Structure 1
């Protein structure tokens, strides 16, 4: 259950769409909303006051009544992660960026995604209606299953989550058709097991098993289904799945085709 949403706002044009999404989720879940801004220590007092006024305006315009503004200083990534812990937030929301920026580019974004103790939502689209469609990358790792579970609690009743499992045939383990049938049976059982833990009034869940390369197959599904949200585990349990899903999460965080929801 989401009780407290933290939105990190950097004053760029992509930050207000992220705030609107965070506000929509706060209303949907009846959660607290805190807007966080990491101040540049080089700003004068007058410049800091101007920043605070701009953030207050965004908060008043987009956020639910009772939402709070929090200002802090420090290295952006470390400051955001520290505030997640101090405030006891359940969800961290960031705006996606296609240009380099200190807070959301390169190693800073990777550091936040890798160390964030709560689910991370990267907002790439300017929409404020509740999510109605999501695509979830699913393997047999605990991390991927946890991401699916969190997404089912994020999305409202009536939405759909389509789970995609990508199977790469092992040439030395027999016929491809037999391997694929085995994978489908295993995923069917996994979905059945996971469904028992999902809320009864949550989104519907569909799934499919595809044979091919992981990234290419997910990109095809994203193109065909056009989901509003991509759901990813940040890493898997085994060394192999950790490498695959770790690089997968990193790829889509930096090249977000839609909003991206990452869970450790």
Structure 2
């Protein structure tokens, strides 16, 4: 049965990138008035059932292991957020199995507002590795997923919303507006157009009209809009804009996994997730 209490699910594995995700998740939960659920998935080459049947672990040792892991998470929380950990409603859970599968299953059971996960450090070619768990969950989970970068484990003050006027973009737009309101952040709408010079003028005129309507509908927000022109792939223009303006958070929609591609976040989403420095909230369509 789904948990009806508004909540936020944070996946942790005690590594440095996971600590930053935990810190960010606690900040977001406090600001959004959400219950925090912090989960560690104990991954083992053999199942818990097999270990029990072989008498390698019993009920007592299993309870001790879980208690030790929960205490470790609590200590981490107290260091990352020494005051918030005492007042927030935080739930801790230890699961067993494949982290991506177990976290997705827990999300289905508790119905959180969003999931918060860490990313790995940059590789030799400059790309940011999401980590297999974060990558798999973004591909398949229908809940919004926040991928946290090391340098932006903070409350966002500058939010960029990547708009393409699609139905999925509409859902992501609702999230962008909500977060801008919660964090009192500046909100920028970015729309990229591409094509030949003769078609760009028409496309830009139509985009300006749509963006003006979006801004007029939300006059209470600190809103601005930018139209990026690109004669090649729009993802390069978008990335250049992010590097130049350095938002703390990028909000974007994604189709997730498709039957035709192993990873089909949309070419823009896939590229920006691996190349940009900011935190990224990926919003998927609901089923």
**Bin of the TM-score, shorter chain as denominator length:** 0.7 to 0.9
Instruction: Mark the CA change 1:116 to 1:41 in structure 2 (over 3 Å): closer, same or farther.
Output: same
Q: Give, in whole Å, the separation in 2 of the partners of 1:176 and 1:41.
A: 54
* Aligned position for 2:117: 94
Query: Does the aligned pair in 1 maintain the 2:21–2:153 contact within 8 Å?
Result: no
* Aligned position for 2:194: 168
**Tell me, what secondary structure is at the counterpart of 1:118?**
coil
* Aligned position for 2:236: 216
Query: Does the aligned pair in 1 maintain the 2:149–2:277 contact within 8 Å?
Result: yes
Give deviations 1:177-234, integer Å, cap 9, x for gaps: 3443233223333x24xx63x6x76x42211112103111111111221100011111
* Aligned position for 1:229: 249
Q: Give, in whole Å, the separation in 2 of the partners of 1:176 and 1:244.
A: 27
Instruction: Please report the RMSD computed on the Cα atoms of aligned residues, expressed in angstroms.
Output: 2.9
* Aligned position for 1:29: 32
**Tell me, what secondary structure is at the counterpart of 1:257?**
coil
Q: What is the Cα deviation at residue 104 of structure 1?
A: 5.2
* Aligned position for 2:206: 182
1:15 equivalent in alignment to 2:15: no
Alignment TM-score, normalising by the size of structure 1: 0.81
Q: Give, in whole Å, the separation in 1 of the partners of 2:144 and 2:203.
A: 33
**Tell me, what secondary structure is at the counterpart of 2:178?**
helix
1:151 equivalent in alignment to 2:154: no
Instruction: Mark the CA change 1:8 to 1:157 in structure 2 (over 3 Å): closer, same or farther.
Output: closer
- Aligned with residue 164 of structure 2, among 128, 139, 154: 139
Query: Does the aligned pair in 2 maintain the 1:125–1:258 contact within 8 Å?
Result: no
Larger Rg: 2
Give deviations 1:6-62, integer Å, cap 9, x for gaps: 100011011111111111111111210010110123597476554333212113333
* Aligned position for 2:277: 257
Q: Which runs of 5+ in 1 are unaligned?
A: 237-242
Q: What is the Cα deviation at residue 262 of structure 1?
A: 0.6
Count of aligned positions? 246
Alignment TM-score, normalising by the size of structure 2: 0.75
Q: Which runs of 5+ in 2 are unaligned?
A: 49-56, 124-128, 257-262
* Aligned position for 2:106: 83
Give deviations 1:104-125, integer Å, cap 9, x for gaps: 524x433211222221111103
